[in-house]
């Protein structure tokens, strides 16, 4: 009896050689590290060294998050991943009325260079790779990071890491946007240009399918909408005068790993193949590094359950295996208690240990691409690729990702899928262990990590001290410079003046706050209001 994958593709009970009819191994499979990168972006993959083990962390104040980072490094984490609170993500200071009740709740509160300095106290930024999940104000947080590194005596050329900086998926699925699409895309292309000169090893964008998947996107929708967004970013950068091979090698991606292991492995392989051909054939990228789809993976938070949370340990292990078998470059494993509250120290440590067991106790790092040639996986890879290319074509028919967003296409497609899954769970057609089957009576006691609500007033007090100690005249002058630069069209003026990151950096160095610089840009650009909000 044929089953259906998450994307509605048929999964046969038995696969044989006929599953590969029409499959051209030299073209579609290739060798690891070679076009079209189906088998991985590097020839040796994990046989030389394992993936980067990141843990997404950040809560309450910068000082408390700094303690957690040191704990994670001591536990063996090889890369940091910063979670910011909602006010920071939306460009509001902690003492803003818009921030009330949300300060430090889902991430760390960063209002100024002083908070960023505290966040990375005692952490040598030239030796650690840092990922920051921040979008609308991504350029601001990266500049604060660079300023703190400079205080440590570390040049921009030594810094490695990633900012998510993917605003288009915010309009589709997540909602932490600030400005309308056109000026937001200008900020992104300005960051590409700035980092090319000032922070050349930094990954300037992590184009995210993860949040669309968390909103309900299928694996096919996840990679199709992600790659369509990526095409929009490349077009914007090329239109601003950048050569595709000047920024293409620094593009990176961010995907989810679900418990449906076979389709997830196929998804990652198909995504690499599609992106390689898009960059080579549509944008003329000649550098193989521009054609590589390098990606970070996070296990599926949406699949974690508050019921029987210990079962999440098993889910996360399966999801991590899917990411590793699919060839991820870095991985965050969720903590088993994240469906209840922010991760506890014990749960975060166990999440790191899950990756370490896979890397050091299994044999998955002994060979490159262990599923290559699998009838089931190769067949699913081709099916996912075909369906994703068709969906990308539908986005292109609108005129590209932004035009499709303005028509509400991607959002509506994801919402239909999410509703269908909810119906399946409600009816029992889809099993969720501990939720609609295999339930237990009662719930074992669990004490979640809680954020002290007094941190909001503490952050406000620090902001008051900052504003009293700095030169208000200098801050106002730099904010006026920023407004004037924002009024110019991209590409106007002499190099260095048209790029917004230079006046942004000057304002932040003068101790302007995140909210103040975002408000200066709001004064010029306004804020985005989705069509369905009218």
Per-residue confidence (pLDDT) for residue 54, from 0 to 100: 84
User: What radius of gyration, in Å, describes the C-alpha atoms of the chain?
Assistant: 23
Percent of the chain with pLDDT over 90: 84
What are the C-alpha distances in Å from 136 to residues 180, 194, 216, 281, 426?
Answer: 10, 17, 22, 30, 36
Q: What is the pLDDT of residue 451?
A: 74
CA-to-CA separations, 144 to 88, 250, 376, in angstroms, rounded: 13, 20, 47
What pLDDT does residue 444 have?
67
Tell me how far the alpha carbon of residue 108 is from its chain's centroid.
17
pLDDT at 489: 67
Q: What is the DSSP string of 341-363?
A: SBPPHHHHHHHHHHHHHHHHHSS
Q: How confident is the model at residue 291 (pLDDT cuts 50, 70, 90)?
A: very high
Is 60 exceeded by the pLDDT of residue 487? yes
CB atoms within 10 A of CB 439: 10
DSSP class of 97: G
End-to-end CA distance of the chain: 47
In tens, the pLDDT along 235-268 reads 999 998 999 999 999 999 999 999 999 999 999 9
Task: Tell me the mean pLDDT in the region 482-510.
Answer: 80
Tell me what pLDDT residue 494 has: 37
What pLDDT sits at residue 229? 98
Residues with Cβ within 8 Å of 132's Cβ and at least 6 positions away in sequence, in order, are 81, 82, 84, 138, 141, 142, 145, 161, 162, 163, 164
**pLDDT tens digit sequence for 115-124:** 999 999 999 9
- Cβ(300)–Cβ(338) below 8 Å: no
Which of the four pLDDT bands, split at 50, 70 and 90, describes residue 24?
A: confident
- Kindly give the residue spans of alpha helices, DSSP state H, lying in 199-243: 210-214, 219-239
pLDDT-derived band of residue 158, with 50, 70 and 90 as boundaries?
Answer: very high
Tell me the backbone φ, ψ of residue 195, rounded to 5 degrees. -70, -30
Structure tokens that stand for 62 in this block: 């910068």
Helix, strand, coil fractions of the chain, as percent rounded to 5: 55, 10, 35
Q: Provide the pairing of β-strand 10-11 with 3-4.
A: antiparallel
pLDDT in tens, 96-115: 999 999 999 989 999 999 99
Residue 468 has which token pair?
């009293």
Question: Residue 492 pLDDT more than 50?
Answer: no
How crowded is residue 362: how many other Cβ atoms within 10 Å of its Cβ? 11
Per-residue pLDDT tens over the stretch 181-191: 999 999 999 99
pLDDT, average across residues 428-453? 83
Instruction: Classify domain 3-427 at the CATH class level.
Output: alpha beta
Gap between the Cα atoms of 259 and 320, Å rounded: 9
What residues form DSSP beta bridges with 207? 253
Q: What is the 3-state secondary structure (H, E, C) of 419-434?
A: HHHHHHHHHCCCCCEC
- If pLDDT is split at 50, 70 and 90, which confidence band does 441 have? confident
- Binned at pLDDT 50, 70 and 90, residue 491 comes out as very low
pLDDT given at position 424: 95
Q: Which of 166, 213, 235, 196 is nearest to 6 (CA)?
A: 213
Residue 15 zone, left/alpha/beta (φ > 0; ψ -120 to 50; rest): beta
Q: Which residues of 509-527 are buried (b: 16+ CB within 10 A; e: fewer)?
A: bbbbbbbbbbbbbeeebee
pLDDT at residue 237, rounded to an integer:
93
Name all contacts of 93-96 with Cβ < 8 Å and 24+ positions apart. Answer: 93/463, 93/513, 93/514, 93/515, 93/516, 94/456, 94/459, 94/460, 94/463, 95/459, 95/460, 95/463, 95/464, 96/515
- Token pair of 32 as six digits: 């690891």
- Range with lowest mean pLDDT among 194-198, 216-220, 235-239, 528-532: 528-532
Q: Which two tokens stand for residue 308?
A: 């029987």
> How far are the Cα atoms of 15, 142, 359, 516, 518 from residue 148, in angstroms, in the given order?
55, 10, 33, 19, 20
What average pLDDT is seen over the chain? Answer: 93
pLDDT band at residue 416 using 50, 70 and 90 as cut-offs = very high
Q: Are 253 and 293 in contact (CB under 8 A)?
A: yes
Token pair recorded at residue 96:
């803003």
pLDDT of the residue at 532:
65
Q: How far is 146 from 514, CA to CA, in rounded Å?
A: 15
Report the pLDDT value the prediction gives residue 522, as an integer from 0 to 100.
98
- Give the pLDDT confidence of 41-88 residue by residue, as tens digits: 999 999 999 999 987 778 889 999 999 899 888 888 878 889 999 999
The domains of the chain are located at 3-427, 455-533
Give yes or no for residue 495 having a pLDDT over 70: no
CB 253 within 8 A of CB 295: yes
């Amino acid at each position: 009896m044929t089953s259906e994958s998450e994307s509605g593709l048929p999964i046969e009970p038995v696969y044989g050689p006929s599953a590969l009819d029409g499959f051209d191994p030299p073209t579609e499979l290739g060798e690891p590290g070679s076009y079209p990168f189906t088998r991985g972006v590097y020839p040796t993959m994990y046989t030389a060294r394992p993936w980067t083990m990141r843990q997404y962390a950040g809560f309450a104040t910068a000082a408390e998050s700094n303690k957690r980072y040191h704990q994670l490094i001591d536990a063996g984490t090889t890369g940091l991943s910063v979670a910011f609170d909602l006010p920071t993500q939306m460009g509001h200071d902690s003492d803003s009325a818009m921030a009330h009740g949300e300060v430090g709740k889902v991430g760390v509160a960063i209002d100024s260079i002083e908070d960023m300095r505290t966040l990375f106290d005692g952490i040598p930024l030239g030796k650690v790779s840092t990922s920051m999940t921040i979008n609308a104000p991504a350029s601001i947080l990266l500049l604060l990071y660079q300023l703190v590194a400079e205080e440590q005596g570390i040049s921009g050329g030594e810094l490695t890491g990633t900012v998510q900086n993917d605003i288009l998926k915010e309009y589709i699925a997540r909602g932490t946007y600030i400005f309308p699409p056109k000026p937001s895309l200008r900020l992104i292309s300005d960051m590409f240009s700035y980092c090319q000169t000032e922070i050349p090893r930094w990954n300037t964008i992590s184009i995210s399918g993860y949040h669309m998947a968390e909103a309900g996107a299928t694996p096919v929708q996840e990679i199709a909408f992600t790659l369509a967004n990526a095409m929009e970013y490349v077009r914007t950068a090329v239109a601003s005068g950048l050569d595709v091979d000047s920024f293409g090698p620094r593009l990176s991606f961010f995907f989810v790993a679900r418990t449906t292991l076979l389709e997830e492995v196929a998804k990652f392989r198909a995504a690499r193949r599609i992106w390689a051909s898009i960059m080579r054939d549509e944008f003329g990228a000649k550098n193989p590094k521009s054609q590589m789809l390098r990606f970070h993976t996070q296990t599926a938070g949406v699949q974690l359950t508050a019921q029987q949370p210990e079962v999440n340990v098993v889910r996360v292990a399966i999801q991590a295996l899917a990411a590793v078998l699919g060839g991820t470059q870095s991985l965050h494993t969720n903590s088993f208690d994240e469906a209840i509250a922010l991760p506890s120290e014990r749960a975060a440590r166990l999440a790191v240990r899950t990756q370490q067991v896979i890397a050091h106790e299994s044999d998955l790092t002994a060979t490159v691409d262990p599923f290559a040639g699998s009838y089931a996986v190769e067949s699913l890879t081709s099916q996912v690729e075909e369906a994703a290319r068709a969906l990308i074509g539908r986005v292109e028919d609108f005129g590209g990702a932004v035009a499709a967003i303005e028509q509400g296409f991607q959002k509506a497609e994801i919402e239909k899928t999410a509703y269908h899954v909810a119906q399946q769970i409600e009816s029992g057609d889809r099993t969720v262990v501990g939720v609609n089957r295999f339930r237990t009576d009662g719930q074992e006691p669990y004490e979640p990590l809680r954020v002290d609500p007094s941190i909001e007033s503490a952050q406000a007090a620090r902001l008051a001290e900052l504003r009293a100690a700095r030169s208000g005249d200098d801050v106002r002058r730099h904010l006026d410079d920023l407004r004037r630069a924002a009024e110019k069209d991209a590409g106007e003026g002499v190099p260095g003046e048209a790029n917004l990151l230079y006046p942004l950096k000057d304002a932040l160095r003068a101790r302007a706050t995140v909210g103040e610089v975002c408000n200066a840009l709001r004064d010029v650009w306004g804020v985005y209001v989705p069509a369905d909000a009218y």
